[in-house]
Each structure stands twice: as C-alpha cells, then as structure tokens.
Amino acid sequence: MGRLSFPSAKFPAEPHVLLDVPDDWDPVSTLTTRLAARAVGESDFHTNVVVTIDRRPEGTKAQDAVDELAVESTRRPEGTVSESFQAEFGGHEWLGCELSWTDERVGRILQVHLFAVVKPEEPMTPVFLVQLTGSCLARHEDRDYPTVKQVLSSVRLGPSAG
C-alpha cells in the first residue's frame, strides 16, 4: 500500500506570501482570502489590500484571470476595466489591470488587480494563481492609491511547501 502526504511534491502547499502594510492598517481574516489588511478609521469604506490564491489547471495563464475580470466588470454598475499591463516585483512577473464601478452606498470604487501564476516543482500538477487586489474610493484616489500600490509592490512569494 502506498502513502500519500500533504504537502509533498505531488500535493504542494500554496506559496508563502509576505506583504508590508502601513502601521495604521489592521489585518482582516476572511474565509476566502489568504491575507487581507485595511486602513483603520474610515467609516463606510476601508481602503484595503487582499491576497487570494487559487488552484488552476496546468497551462493557466495570468491573462485568463484578466479576461475573467473583464467579464465580471460588465456585471457591475458602470463597470470598466483598463487595458492590461505588466509589472515585475518581488521576483515575479505580474499581469494587472484596473477595475472600477459605482457602488450606490459609497460612490466610485477603484481597484487594481495583479495576477501571477506559480508553478509547483512537480510537472503535470495544478498551478497556483496568486491574485493581489487593492481597493480605494475614487474620490480619495490621490491620497490612497499610492499607498495601495506601495503595499502591493511589497509582496514577496516564497516557495510552496512540499
């Protein structure tokens, strides 16, 4: 009888994620995110950064996720998505785009999404799609968007355990 284990080469754990956030931000734990933090002291909407990691089939490209986001933008009130752009930081290539829409409670929301595909060492296994999302209110873009970009560009991905 054979033995399987997790994490292992055949069943790798997710990559480790490190993120630098401002001292006046709070960590937020949710069921769907791996890491999240938000600015404190705001009332209706908190400027925030979220990290999610999904398993995807081998051959998945970051462009696939950007395309999915473009479809999602059509489901949001006045949703728009920018052209995609490339960025390199934390030792990885990222594909990104900006998404914005109007929320009836708080007004226009601006998000930046960055995607990277991390391949486990073992071939023929699913890949990890790492998504970084930063959000702020469009009316505070001059104040908050530079902070969001600084936090996102601080990300460092470590090897997955296995």
Q: Specify if 39 maps to a domain.
A: yes
Choice between 122 and 30, residue whose per-residue pLDDT is larger = 30
CA distances from 8 to 5, 48, 117 (A): 6, 33, 19
132 bridge partner residues: 51, 114
In this prediction, residue 35 has a pLDDT band, given cuts at 50, 70 and 90, of: very high
- Residue 137: name the closest of 69, 73, 46, 76 by CA: 46
Q: Specify if 101 maps to a domain.
A: yes
Domain that holds residue 123: 24-156
pTM to 2 decimal places: 0.93
- Say which CATH number the domain at 144 has: 3.40.1000.10
Choice between 123 and 148, residue whose per-residue pLDDT is larger = 148
Q: Specify if 2 maps to a domain.
A: no
Mean pLDDT of 86-99: 94
Mean pLDDT of 16-36: 94
- Residue that the structure tokens 């080469």 belong to: 9
Q: Specify if 6 maps to a domain.
A: no
Q: Is the pLDDT of residue 52 over 90?
A: yes
Total domains in the fold of the chain: 1
In this prediction, residue 62 has a pLDDT band, given cuts at 50, 70 and 90, of: very high
Q: Specify if 91 maps to a domain.
A: yes
Ordered alpha helix ranges (H), the chain: 62-73, 141-153
Q: Specify if 34 maps to a domain.
A: yes
Q: Specify if 97 maps to a domain.
A: yes
Q: Specify if 19 maps to a domain.
A: no
Q: Is the pLDDT of residue 162 over 60?
A: no
pLDDT for the residue numbered 160? 64
Mean pLDDT of 28-35: 92
In this prediction, residue 120 has a pLDDT band, given cuts at 50, 70 and 90, of: confident
